[in-house]
């Protein structure tokens, strides 16, 4: 480990991510894959005290949720995740909470409090309603400032299946329809639906860093390398980018690609 890496780790103990999206958007699965674990995260409140979720009745869990709560997976405690759960209800109050959190954490001078990235999970299984309610309001009204937003299209395998079903309804053989759907679904989704997100007032990072899509994330061995690469590329400044690469465990590919880019 070189001197610069040691200094970075001393200054930036953890990498902080705000995770956004509907309750069924596949957020937890993505975070588990990023941290290479199947365990649930440990939750801490804003004072660093562990929250015992088993003592919270399911009907009260949403009311107990706070965006300041920190989710940390033991498999990689260098990540700190915040969940915007509740934002999808679309209320003015919830929108203001998220907006204030992004603004305050994005401008925080204390490195341990800074927000470094936003991952917005958008389920692709209902592509025609990709941006509705809270999602549309976020990309139209919430200025993330210098904090990069990466759009993650989850449940993309459902979109592939829907494409196959459409082709089959047009007379295609089922196997041929599947092969064609697997080949063309991403381009179709990008041109017809994903571009809607990029025409908003505050879109995710533009160009080829705009988004990443995922299929079969529930399967053993599934990885999020593309998300990690795009997050690293979207970060401002080599120091923060190097920190992000440093906290990846068991990911030699990302180390190698970053070294080549440098």
The whole-number pLDDT of residue 57 equals 43
- Asked if the structure places residue 41 within a domain, the reply is yes
181, part of any domain: no
Going by pLDDT thresholds of 50, 70 and 90, the confidence category of residue 134 is confident
Going from the C-alpha of 217 to that of each of 25, 30, 98, 172, 257, the distances in angstroms are: 12, 7, 27, 28, 23
Percentage of residues in the chain having pLDDT higher than 70: 77
Q: Let me know how long the chain is.
A: 262
Residue 88: predicted pLDDT: 72
78, 247 contact by CB (below 8 A): yes
Per-residue model confidence as pLDDT tens digits over 22-62: 887 888 889 998 998 999 999 998 888 898 766 544 444 44
- pLDDT of 58 reads 45
The whole-number pLDDT of residue 163 equals 93
**Number of domains composing the chain:** 1
Q: Please give the average per-residue pLDDT across 123-146, as a whole number.
A: 89
Would you give the end-to-end CA distance of the chain in angstroms? Answer: 17
Q: Is residue 50 part of a domain?
A: yes
- In this structure, what CATH number is given to the domain that contains residue 101? 3.40.50
Q: Domain residues for 71?
A: 3-157+204-257
Residue 106: is it exposed, middle or buried by C-beta count within 10 angstroms (0-12/13-18/19+)? middle
Q: What is the 3-state secondary structure (H, E, C) of 78-117?
A: CEEEEECCCHHHCCHHHHHHHHHHHHHHHCCCCHHHCCCE
Report if residue 222 sits inside a domain.
yes
Provide the whole-model pTM.
0.84
pLDDT of residue 74: 93
Q: Is residue 150 part of a domain?
A: yes
The pLDDT assigned to 60 comes to: 42
pLDDT digits (tens, 9 = 90+) for 169-225: 999 999 999 999 999 988 889 888 888 888 899 998 754 433 455 555 555 556 678
* pLDDT per position as a tens digit, 65-97: 689 999 999 999 999 999 987 777 767 888 999
Closest C-alpha among 114, 72, 99 to residue 239: 114
- 16: which strand partners? 80
Site of tokens 């801490």: 44
Burial category of 123 from C-beta neighbours within 10 Å (exposed 0-12, middle 13-18, buried 19 and up)? buried
Would you say residue 184 lies in a domain? no
Would you call 221 exposed, middle or buried from its count of C-beta atoms within 10 A (0-12, 13-18, 19+)? exposed
Looking at the predicted structure, is the pLDDT value of residue 235 above 50?
Answer: yes
Identify the pLDDT of residue 255: 61
Confidence category of residue 250, pLDDT binned at 50, 70, 90: low
In a domain, 74, yes or no: yes
């Amino acid at each position: 480990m070189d001197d610069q890496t040691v200094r970075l780790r001393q200054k930036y103990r953890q990498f902080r991510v705000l995770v956004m999206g509907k309750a069924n958007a596949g957020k937890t699965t993505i975070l588990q894959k990023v941290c290479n674990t199947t365990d649930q995260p440990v939750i801490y409140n804003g004072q660093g005290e562990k929250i015992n979720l088993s003592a919270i009745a399911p009907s009260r869990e949403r009311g107990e949720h706070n965006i300041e709560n920190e989710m940390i997976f033991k498999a990689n405690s260098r990540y700190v995740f915040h969940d915007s759960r509740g934002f999808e209800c679309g209320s003015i109050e919830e929108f203001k909470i998220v907006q204030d959190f992004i603004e305050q954490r994005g401008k925080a001078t204390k490195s341990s409090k800074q927000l470094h990235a936003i991952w917005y999970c958008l389920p692709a299984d209902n592509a025609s309603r990709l941006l509705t309610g809270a999602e549309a309001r976020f990309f139209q009204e919430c200025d993330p400032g210098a904090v990069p937003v990466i759009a993650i299209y989850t449940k993309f395998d459902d979109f592939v299946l829907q494409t196959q079903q459409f082709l089959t309804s047009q007379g295609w053989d089922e196997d041929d329809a599947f092969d064609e759907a697997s080949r063309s679904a991403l381009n179709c989704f990008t041109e017809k639906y994903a571009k809607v997100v990029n025409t908003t007032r505050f879109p995710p990072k533009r160009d080829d860093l705009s988004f990443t899509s995922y299929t079969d994330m529930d399967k053993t061995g599934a990885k999020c390398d593309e998300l990690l690469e795009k997050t690293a590329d979207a970060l401002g400044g080599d120091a923060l980018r190097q920190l992000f690469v440093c906290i990846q465990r068991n990911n030699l590919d990302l180390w190698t690609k970053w070294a080549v880019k440098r």
